[in-house]
Chain A
């Protein structure tokens, strides 16, 4: 069962096989949770979105048309749920409801030093995960959504565009900006390469720092 395709599981879940739906849940719960967490930046809200999304997906399974992929459809539900919550909070704050970044606005990279995470930094899992979370939260929401779908959850550009309800070209533009902004955010957190090379040469010559 674990190896069955999404289409097979959906087909059987539609005819009432809950175990098949549970397999789909196991397969995509992380994706849905991380998309919700990325949009809302709050684990408790993300968990509610996770539960609501799967409940809605189950209730509306008969409306799912086979031409789309189940994953894309599910991600669409999760994004709508998460956006609804953002709107609710924003309305409470009397803030503008939608954030519309200018897609034709140019983003110029500023930090052009080369850098490398050290092997210790690469294995410092928790710390690195927190740094990346902060970097993602610093992105405008519409860029963050594209980045999450493409670079964290590995959806194709076409799938991401469909799930977000935007064109492929807007998806690509936002992805480029998001990647550049992530890079810019991370740069000051790592040592520049020349610094590391100099340090290694110094340690090599003296045997110690």
Chain B
């Protein structure tokens, strides 16, 4: 049987699907009985999905044009 500290230690690997089949089964068995760990897994997943959906990835204003201009100046 694994405990809450084991789930915490393996949380990232579990979310990234980087645990063995056996460990995954044990974690899921633990999650069925442990509310706190279920919340921990679910809210960590939500955190990552918010980051993935965010506009954090956009490049502001004319940063790109200025970069190309600097390179062009260097090359000329």
Contact = CB atoms under 8 A, between A and B. Distances in A.
Contacts of B39: 112-114
Contact of A54 (B42, B48, B60, B71): B71
B47 A129 contact: no
A126 B46 CA distance: 18
B32 interface: no
A51 B66 CA distance: 9
A107 to B, nearest CB: 9
Contacts of B59: 29-30, 33
Interface in A160-206: 172, 175-176, 179-180, 182-183, 186-187
Interface in A105-143: 108-109, 112-117, 122, 125-126, 128-129, 132-133
Size category, B interface: 35 or more
Contacts, number: 97
Contacts of A133: 56
A126 B71 contact: no
A182 B40 CA distance: 12
A176 B9 CA distance: 8
Contacts of B17: none
A152 interface: yes
Nearest to B8: A109
A13 to B, nearest CB: 12
B20 interface: no
Given A109-B8, A151-B51, A179-B47, A29 B75 contact: no
Interface residues of A, number: 43
Nearest to A59: B74
B43 A25 contact: no
Interface string B57-68: 111100110111
Contacts of A109: 8, 40
A10 B46 CA distance: 37
B26 interface: no
Contacts of B70: 51, 55
A179 B11 contact: yes
B50 interface: yes
Contacts of B46: 115-117
B50 A117 contact: yes
A129 B52 CA distance: 11
Given A129-B56, A183-B40, 4 more contacts: A125-B55, A133-B56, A157-B16, A179-B47
13 contacts: A25-B67, A26-B64, A34-B57, A51-B70, A55-B74, A117-B50, A122-B53, A126-B55, A132-B56, A151-B48, A176-B11, A176-B12, A179-B47
